[in-house]
Amino acid sequence: MRLLLVEDECRLIETISEGLSRAGFVVDALDTLREAEQALSGVLYDVVVLDLGLPDGDGLNLLASMRRKHSEMPVLILTARDAVEDRVAGLNGGADDYLVKPFAMSELLARIKALLRRPGAALGTTLTAGSLSFDSIAREAAVAGRRLDLSRQELALLEQLMRRLGRVVPRSVLEEKLYGYANEPNSNPVPVHIHHLRRRLEGAGASVGIHTVRGIGYLLTDEGAH
Ligand code: CA
Q: How does pLDDT run across 110-154, given as a tens digit for each residue? A: 899 888 877 655 444 678 899 999 887 677 899 998 999 998 889
Domains identified in the chain, total number:
2
pLDDT over 90 for what percent of the chain?
55
* Higher-scoring residue by pLDDT: 136, 59: 59
The pLDDT value recorded for residue 200 is: 96
Instruction: State if pTM tops 0.85.
Output: no
Look at residue 185 and tell me whether its pLDDT is greater than 70: no
pLDDT surpassing 80 at residue 1 = no
Domain stop point among 98, 116, 134: 116
CA angle at 99 for the pair 95 and 104, rounded to the nearest 5° = 145
52 CA to centre of ligand 1 in angstroms: 6
C-alpha 32 to ligand 1 mean position (Å): 10
Distance 46 CA to ligand 1 centre (A): 22
**CA of 148 relative to ligand 1 center, distance in Å:** 46
- How many A from CA of 51 to the centre of ligand 1? 6
Whether a cis peptide bond, with omega within 30° of 0, leads into 102 is: yes
The answer as to whether 76 is a domain residue is yes
Domain membership of residue 121 (yes or no) is: no
| Strand ranges, E, within the chain | 2-6, 26-30, 47-50, 53-54, 57-58, 75-79, 97-100, 126-129, 132-135, 140-143, 146-147, 168-170, 208-213, 217-222
Residue-wise pLDDT for 26-55, tens only, equals: 899 999 999 999 999 888 888 999 999 999
Res. 226: pLDDT tops 60 = no
Q: Are residues 33 and 94 in the same domain?
A: yes
pLDDT of residue 181: 64
Distance 113 CA to ligand 1 centre (A): 23
Does residue 32 lie within any of the structural domains?
A: yes
Pairing, β 57-58 against β 208-213: unpaired
CA dist 11 and 159 (Å) reads 38
CATH number of the domain that residue 169 is part of: 1.10.10.10
**31/130 same-domain check:** no
Same domain, 91 and 193: no
Residue pair 29/13 in contact by the 8 Å Cβ criterion: yes
Q: Are 209 and 166 in contact (CB under 8 A)?
A: no
Same domain flag for 187 and 137: yes
Ligand 1 centre distance from Cα of residue 217 (Å)? 29
β-bridge mates for residue 175, sequence order? none
Query: For residue 218, is pLDDT > 80?
Result: yes
Are residues 195 and 97 located together in one domain of the fold?
no
Q: No. of H helices and E strands in the chain?
A: 8, 14
**Same-domain status, 184 and 152:** yes
Question: Which whole number is the average pLDDT over 156-178?
Answer: 87
Among residues 94, 116, 138, which one ends one of the domains? 116
pLDDT of 126: 77
CA of 76 to the centre of ligand 1 (A): 14
Distance 162 CA to ligand 1 centre (A): 32
Q: Is the pLDDT of residue 206 over 60?
A: yes
Q: What is the pLDDT of residue 224?
A: 76
Cα(9) to ligand 1 centroid in Å equals 6
20 with 101, same domain: the answer is: yes
Supply the CATH number for residue 108's domain: 3.40.50.2300
The last residue of one of the domains, among 92, 116, 140, is 116
Distance 26 CA to ligand 1 centre (A): 21
pLDDT exceeds cutoff 70 at 170: yes
Distance, CA 7 to ligand 1 centroid (Å)?
Answer: 6
**pLDDT more than 70, % of the chain:** 91
Q: Give me the mean pLDDT over the 66-95 stretch.
A: 89
- Which residue segment(s) compose the domain that 30 sits in? 2-116
Alpha carbon separation from 85 to 64, 82, 92, 93, 123 (Å, rounded): 17, 8, 10, 12, 31
Mean pLDDT over all residues of the chain?
Answer: 88
Q: Give the per-residue pLDDT at 39.
A: 93
- Shared domain check, 214 and 132: yes
Residue 10 sits in the same domain as residue 38: yes
Q: Please give the distance, rounded to the nearest whole angstrom, from the Cα atom of residue 15 to the centre of ligand 1.
A: 14
- Mean pLDDT, residues 178-206 taken together: 84
- 56/111 same-domain check: yes
Same domain, 70 and 131: no
